Amino acid sequence: MEEEWGVPYPDCVLDNAGAGFVGGAAAGTLAHLFTGLRDFPCGRHLAGAAQAVRDGAPCLATRWAARLAVYSAACHALSSATDRHDDPLVSVADGAATGAVARLRHGPLAVGRAALVGAATLAAVELMIRDSVEEHDDDKPRRNQRPLPAKTKEDDVILRITPAIDHFPVPDPFIAASRGSLLRFRG
């Protein structure tokens, strides 16, 4: 099933799971490296850090891979059901579903809390994305900003502005001579 906006359905889930595994492995390596360096006694810091990375990083990597696979599957299911591929509400609902599925075995209260946290996290991400897109959108004026005047033929003239360095006295005549005509020596 080829989607008109991206990678076909099963491949994108595997791609996102792989990206989650790599990201989780990198984050897990850094986190467990520093906790291993901190927690092991003197003389055993490096060996303890390596042991902590071997024990903890794969668990975090698989956890991130599973979360991103569930998120990707929920994203495709909801966007196919609603026919809204770029809707921020679909992303927020995906975050809620992902959080709920991740905490499913811990009971209904934990599922509800995880769904709220997932929805709030994705809502914050969507707000940041929307604000950054509005910031860089040059086609329409931003909030509280007047539109630019239309460009005329006189706007093509290049203005010559005196450099600010001309206004400061230069103590050394060699420096002034090396800068050529940009500076006038005022001794």
Query: Is residue 106 domain-shared with residue 139, that is, in the same domain?
Result: yes
For the chain, the distance separating the N- and C-terminal CA atoms, rounded to the nearest angstrom, is 79
Could you tell me if 116 and 79 lie in one domain? no
Q: 187 in helix, strand or coil?
A: coil
Residue type at position 55: D
Q: Do residues 22 and 46 share a domain?
A: yes
Q: pTM score, two decimals?
A: 0.63
156 has pLDDT over 60: no
- Residue 187 confidence (pLDDT): 46
Is 184 within the bounds of a domain? no
Q: For residue 168, what pLDDT band results from cuts at 50, 70 and 90?
A: low
Q: Is 91 in the same domain as 134?
A: yes
In a domain, 5, yes or no: no
CB atoms within 10 A of CB 17: 21
What is the token pair recorded at 9?
Answer: 């359905």
Q: How far from 103 is each of 30, 74, 113, 124, CA to CA, in Å?
A: 25, 15, 9, 21
Residue 59 belongs to a domain: yes
Of residues 90 and 183, more confidently modeled: 90
Domain count, the chain: 2
> Does any domain span residue 117?
yes
Residue 172: which pLDDT band, with cuts at 50, 70 and 90? Answer: low
| 14 and 79 assigned to the same domain | yes
Question: Which of 9-18, 104-113, 140-149, 173-182 is the most confident on average?
Answer: 104-113
pLDDT of residue 54: 92
- The answer to which of 40-44, 118-122, 149-153 has the lowest mean pLDDT is 149-153
Segment 96-110 mean pLDDT: 94
- pLDDT category at 123 given cuts 50, 70, 90 is very high
90 and 79, same domain (yes or no): no
Average pLDDT over residues 103-126: 94
Judgement on whether residues 129 and 97 belong to the same structural domain of the protein = yes
86 has pLDDT over 50: yes
Q: Is residue 156 part of a domain?
A: no
Which comes out higher in pLDDT, residue 143 or 46?
46
What mean pLDDT comes out for the span 65-86?
87
Q: Average pLDDT, whole number, for the chain? A: 78
Is residue 173 assigned to a domain?
Answer: no
Question: What is the domain extent for residue 67?
Answer: 10-83
pLDDT at position 154 over 90: no
- Residue 101 and residue 79 in one domain: no
